[in-house]
Structure 1
Amino acid sequence: MLSEKEIEALKNGAYGITREGYKAKYLGVREGEDEVFHTWVIYNENGSIKEAIDAYDTFVSYYRNGEDRDDIIGLWQDKPEPFDLEKVLNGEPFKVSHEKRFAAKKVENSLIYYSINEDGELDRIFRDDIPFLQENAFMWKESEPVKSNADALPKPIREF
């Protein structure tokens, strides 16, 4: 089940993901004689349109089954940039297994990577297994800033 925040993001243009793993974009509402249907465009892996479906009887649920392959189950997340040792050694941050943000430096044949722990202290990890990082790490990407809804209300909150 999607959160209210996810539903709002989808209605404001964010991409969703279907149960089958395809990227989807919400187009809007189509009104029939007795029913209202929500329309989604489903994309192939290469970014071309796979199909447009206007048979969603709720915002994210395809009408035929209780649980369908075309149900929208979350927000789409682009694949992260793969670990790049050269970028890391030039100071760009990276993550390991979706956990912490790290920075690294090379000392002889080892990497030392640094992070800030939950107590605000600097952690140092010594590792000479660069293939481990190439398989389990990816480059850090700052998340997109969330726009406040305060300006989208009939009268912006800032004017009160």
Structure 2
Amino acid sequence: FSHVSTVMNVFVLLLTKPDLTYTDQKPAVPLISPDRLQFFEYESVSVSCEEDKEVKAWRVRRKLHKTSSANDSDACSVPAASCSIQYAFESHSGEYWCENHEGEKSRALNISVTAGSVILDVSAQPVKEGSTVTLKCIQEDTEEPNFETNYKNHRH
């Protein structure tokens, strides 16, 4: 249990680290649906980029942790405003970000797909430092949290 708590504290630190390299005109992060960073194999995952007020067209881009010919033809292999992976596999794990034709990039999100039986359910959206974050573990097939804790300022 203490190991899980330590891992979650590190995860919260990563979520709350401010990123000052992006302007207000760029999307902060891609939008992930369902709104989390970890997924079970065979789940559907959608990634999209919001359009800004200018005419810049943002496209979903990615860099997979492992290259696989099976992913070469899925919906996210071609840059587009959004993409959906109907059946995610571990080989879909990697960095996903938004990029426009001028080469401007949003912050990347690390999406992880596992064949395991438990994942961490936490929002993919940025969290302001000092905010309360609820972390839940989801067991495959049940979608019911079996552990929940609230964190604020690195304390629970």
TM bucket normalised to smaller = under 0.3
**Whose relative contact order is higher, 1 or 2, with alpha carbons under 8 Å and at least 6 apart?**
2
What is the TM-score when the length of structure 1 is the normalising length? 0.23
Structure with the larger strand share: 1
TM-score, length of structure 2 as denominator length? 0.24
